A and B are shown apart, each in its own frame.
Chain A
Amino acid sequence: MFQPQPSAPPTTSPAAATLAPTTGAVATLQALVAEGVDTIFGYPGGAIIPIYDALYDFQEQLNHVLVRHEQGGIHAAQGYARSSGRVGVALATSGPGATNLVTGLADALIDSTPLVCITGQVFAHLLGTDAFQETDIINITTPVTKWNYQVTNAEEIPEALAKAFYIARSGRPGPVLVDITKNAQMQTFDAPAYERCTHIRSYRPAPVVRAEYIEQAAALINSAKQPFILWGQGVVLGKAEREFQAFVEKSGIPAAWTILGVGALATDHPLNVGMLGMHGNYGPNVLTNECDVLIAIGMRFDDRVTGRLDKYAKQAKIIHLDIDPTEIGKNVPTAVPVWGDCQETLPLLTALIEPRQHEAWLARFNNYAAQEVDAVIREELFPTSEELTMGEVIQQLNEITGGEAVIVSDVGQHQMIACRYARQNQSRSHITSGGLGTMGFALPAAIGAKFGAPHRPVVAVIGDGGFQMTIQELGTIMQTGVDVKIILLNNQFLGMVRQWQELFHQRRYSFVDIQSPDFVAVAAGYRIAGQRVDDRAALRPALEKMLAHPGSFLLEVMVTKENNIFPMVPQGCSVAEIRLR
């Protein structure tokens, strides 16, 4: 039998420094503080009372935000992580408290958001007995977490949390859940001084970059006649915005973004040719099927972006830069895989490419853009109709904020409008639920985003459907006094589904006609200022009033009931078959 002979010291060195008798609960909070956590979003309950009792003495070091539903708590932690780039932390009790986190975990996993969730659990000796508020949360969350672990003994706590934070924030970030039984929280043990985790032998988040692939990629780029860059959240997660901009400007290649990558290159940069995807811009979609070299950076060829795969960029040689090797070659065949952290690989690539300009090729994108303005954009942003459009609200917002605000959008038609038209000067300026498309994400996420970026104005843009899914978080705003502006675009329908029913199901509007309360009155009940607008003349002044208001504000805008989002790549079509109408 071989014995493993580690040539490096183990990851967390055992008690060399001070040993102090501590409870598991206190050790948990000490770990959070040591990991640089300043804000946690949570909701107490029986199985997590010991941690909450310890938290009572940590109020100077840890700001705990009491939410109104654990789902609100985890979405807030996501918003915090997205706006700050740090690990979001959520606390919940056992049973229903823990299961209420599942949607947020699934959302964070598919959108690569670093989160550490700590759930209380029944006493270890009760596990598997159907005890009160007991659920097998580890097995429930296995498919929706990057890693999870159940702690049944306090001595495991420091190492488990160190591993949790390391896994959550390294490589391709993701959500981690640590389930701590009540006995472990209460148990006293000799806690060693906390040590961060820097290495797990079975986990390699940062690969060694292979020079030959960089060279092959550079050669391909230098010989390309119609190259096209697609970028996604990987550029933001890798904190590689500057390296990315340098690469784009030196190569002269037109670049388009996914909704999670927006802002890494400012929306009005001359080489930024627009948004990808089912409701993306006309040019980027059509010209994907005409480029000769496709350079994908930190994006995963999601099906909303590619349309039907058998007709996607078949004519192009694809270079894929990504930190996750499972994404390379997953959906599209790759000619040159560049596996690595793009903050490292981009400068190496930039050094080898020749400075170029592709004026004629870029002009084609601008040409399509002009067509799109005539067919769709002008009427959406500067409507001549009587009724208000969602687009014009965003347009007005752009003019007032100049692209400086953090926009947090929910899911649906308004999300597509906000993604397409909101102006962003930097990354981490548009927070939205991409891969999972979770309605109800925006309100709690906006709260978290504000805590994560307190010096930036945060504006949530939400539809009448999604708002009602997590409306209880207005209570969190009320209690904390956090300053979140909410624009509620009310078309009195579950708009996106209604659009599909109109276009593909002969207008059979099956249960999309949703009735809403008087939202401004509800907000007032939560002591939040508000106003309703339903005519154009009142819109701009109301927006300015909202943004100037000292504190949260709900602005409900009544928009056209049946408006459709175009352009659109219908399901089962290729990106080149994108419809303008």
Chain B
Amino acid sequence: MERQEYNITAYTENQVGLLNRIAIIFSRRKINIESLNVSPSEIEGIHRFNIVISETEEVVEKLAKQIEKQVEVLKVYFNPNQDVIWQEMALYKVPTDVIAEKVLVERLLRENGARAVVIRKDYTVFETTGHREETDNLIKALQPYGLIEFVRSARIAIIKASDGFHSKLQEFERREPSEEVAENEFLNDRKQVFTM
């Protein structure tokens, strides 16, 4: 089986220490987390994790189950890149006089949809939102002109086929989970969505 990038999405309670519980599931198997985003979800009190790793599907499935097994984790999904819509943000600090003088740089930034966030006499900070390759290309292009500093954000992703979590949450809160919540991956399309 081949390794590819997988996006793991986990809905959890907002509990101190849960980040550690989830992180050790990866480090225990010596798997590097390439990107991690934890932020409040659209539902109050529920957090959403977005984790990116490069692994085989078999391993990702086992990891997803082990994460969902944790008491404070509600639901875990895993999807390859083609099944999600994702974005990563990046900030670039460039000397302002370079932008002013070198027309090439200005065009580069305009072509990549970079927005200026802050403009000062000595430096300007740009922001782009997009995919890794686009960001990497822009860094390479800017470096000869004196890129002062660069930072890349974690990835956030929305699953193409999902209905959102709100309706599922109501089933979790009922004492007897419905068939829907209790669905098993063997019945559903294993590749798309893992549920327990």
Contact = CB atoms under 8 A, between A and B. Distances in A.
Interface stretch (B105-113, B122-130, B154-162, B176-184): B176-184
Given A142-B21, A146-B71, A204 B173 contact: no
B7 interface: no
A7 B20 contact: no
Interface stretch (B39-47, B78-86, B87-95, B140-148): B39-47
A208 interface: yes
A8 B184 contact: no
Interface string B35-54: 00000001111100000000
B42 A1 contact: yes
Given A202-B74, A330-B62, A337-B184, A138 B175 contact: no
Interface string B109-120: 000000000000
A109 B167 CA distance: 33
B23 to A, nearest CB: 10
Interface in A317-331: 324-326, 330
Interface in B146-196: 166, 169-170, 172-177, 179, 181-182, 184, 186-187, 196
A167 interface: yes
A2 B43 contact: yes
A150 B175 CA distance: 26
B44 A204 contact: no
Nearest to A204: B177
A147 B62 CA distance: 20
A8 B170 CA distance: 9
A143 B28 contact: yes
Contacts of B34: none
A566 interface: no
A177 to B, nearest CB: 12
Contacts of A6: 170, 173
Among B13, B17, B45, B179, chain A packs the most CB atoms within 10 A around the CB of B17
Nearest to B16: A150
A198 B71 contact: no
A201 interface: yes
Given A2-B44, A3-B44, A142 B186 contact: no
B55 to A, nearest CB: 16
Nearest to B65: A326
B8 interface: no
A198 B13 CA distance: 18
A522 B87 CA distance: 69
Nearest to A172: B69
Contacts of A200: 71
Contacts of A212: 187
A204 B181 CA distance: 10
Contacts, number: 84
Given A3-B44, A5-B170, A210-B184, A202 B17 contact: no
Given A143-B24, A147-B71, A200-B71, A138 B173 contact: no
Contacts of A201: 74, 169, 172-173
B12 interface: yes
Contacts of A147: 71-72
Among B12, B24, B71, B172, chain A packs the most CB atoms within 10 A around the CB of B71
A208 B179 contact: yes
Contacts of A481: none
A199 interface: yes
A6 B46 CA distance: 14
Contacts of A143: 24, 28
Given A139-B17, A324-B69, A325-B65, A202 B45 contact: no
B11 to A, nearest CB: 9
B96 interface: no
B191 to A, nearest CB: 15
Given A202-B73, A325-B196, A2 B17 contact: no
A511 to B, nearest CB: 30
Nearest to B61: A329
Contacts of B182: 204, 207-208, 210
B137 to A, nearest CB: 37
Given A139-B17, A201-B74, A203-B71, A7 B45 contact: no
Interface string A47-85: 000000000000000000000000000000000000000
Nearest to A143: B24
Contacts of A325: 65, 69, 184, 196
Contact of A7 (B173, B177, B196): B173
A164 B186 CA distance: 32
A2 B173 contact: no
A296 to B, nearest CB: 16
A202 B46 CA distance: 10
Contacts of B28: 143
B167 to A, nearest CB: 10
A541 interface: no
Among A2, A5, A7, chain B packs the most CB atoms within 10 A around the CB of A2
A4 interface: yes
Among A138, A142, A330, A337, chain B packs the most CB atoms within 10 A around the CB of A142
Nearest to B179: A208
B48 to A, nearest CB: 13
B46 to A, nearest CB: 8
B43 to A, nearest CB: 5
A8 B66 contact: no
Interface in A17-72: none
B66 A326 contact: yes
Interface in A190-210: 198-204, 207-208, 210
A301 interface: no
A7 B167 CA distance: 12
13 contacts: A3-B44, A4-B43, A4-B173, A142-B20, A146-B71, A150-B17, A200-B71, A202-B74, A203-B72, A208-B179, A326-B65, A326-B69, A330-B62
Report the 6 A-B pairs with minimum CB-CB distance, sorted nearest first: A326-B65, A208-B182, A6-B173, A201-B172, A202-B74, A2-B43
Interface of A: 1-8, 138-139, 142-143, 146-148, 150, 167, 198-204, 207-208, 210, 212, 324-326, 330, 337, 339
Given A1-B42, A8-B174, A326-B66, 16 more contacts: A1-B43, A2-B43, A2-B166, A8-B173, A201-B74, A201-B172, A201-B173, A202-B13, A202-B71, A202-B72, A208-B177, A208-B182, A210-B184, A324-B69, A325-B196, A339-B184
